[in-house]
Amino acid sequence: MHSVNRLRKMNVLNMLSKAKISLHLPKWLISLFVLFQSGFRGVSLGVRVVILDAEGAVYLVRHSYMKGWYLPGGGVERGETALEAAKREVAEEAGIQMTGIPELHGVFLYDGYAVPDHICCFIVRDGQWIPMDGANSNGASGDGEIVEGAFFAPEALPDGATAATRARIKEIIEDGPVDDQWLRRA
């Protein structure tokens, strides 16, 4: 009987959520509830995209809110496929429009946050993308999220390129074994 009552309470919360009915709870309590619930419910899903030009250089971005150089990417939004998220993130962060279907390099587990994250990593090769009209020449995004973006030769990645970024590029360029962890901890 206890589990039936618990299910009824969860169903009521789900119905209120879907009906967009507010219980006027403080934001900190809602945030805590979401974090608590997601910790028991599973994982989040994100995407990263390796964009290669004709010379084999890789496009990396620097964010305004965290240090280092990263592959363009971000979270998959509700109702969006991983491929749609990859296309959106590449447009937003790199000013690049995908014209072909990217190759799925792998699906990786990143267990570095409170909630584990799965990351779909795609490869977009030369001939499968074009620069978008109005893209900033220094790679900065109009919304201030990306402060710089540029192509780098794989053997000359910038200081601050993250270990996970370097690992994915090495796997692709050297056609080596693919690790199932986004960032392998020693």
Does position 11 have pLDDT exceeding 80, yes or no?
A: no
- Using CA atoms in the order 105, 103, 85, 137, what is the torsion angle rounded to 10 degrees? 100
Domain ranges of the chain: 2-40, 43-173
pLDDT tens profile 110-165: 987 667 889 999 999 998 898 887 665 566 666 678 899 999 999 999 999 999 99
Give the count of beta carbons closer than 10 Å to the beta carbon of residue 161: 18
**Pairwise CA distance, residues 172 & 34, whole Å:** 36
**Pairwise CA distance, residues 156 & 152, whole Å:** 6
CATH topology of domain 43-173: Nucleoside Triphosphate Pyrophosphohydrolase (3.90.79)
Token match 């971005």: residue? 61
Q: The pTM is what?
A: 0.74
Diameter over CA atoms, the chain? 65
Dihedral pair phi/psi, residue 7, rounded to 5°: -65, -40
Token match 């050297």: residue? 174
Token match 């074994």: residue? 177
Give all strands of the β-sheet with 73-75 in edge-to-edge order.
73-75, 44-51, 117-124, 103-110
- CA dihedral for 134, 139, 141, 147, sign (positive or negative): negative
pLDDT tens profile 156-184: 999 999 999 999 999 999 998 999 999 87
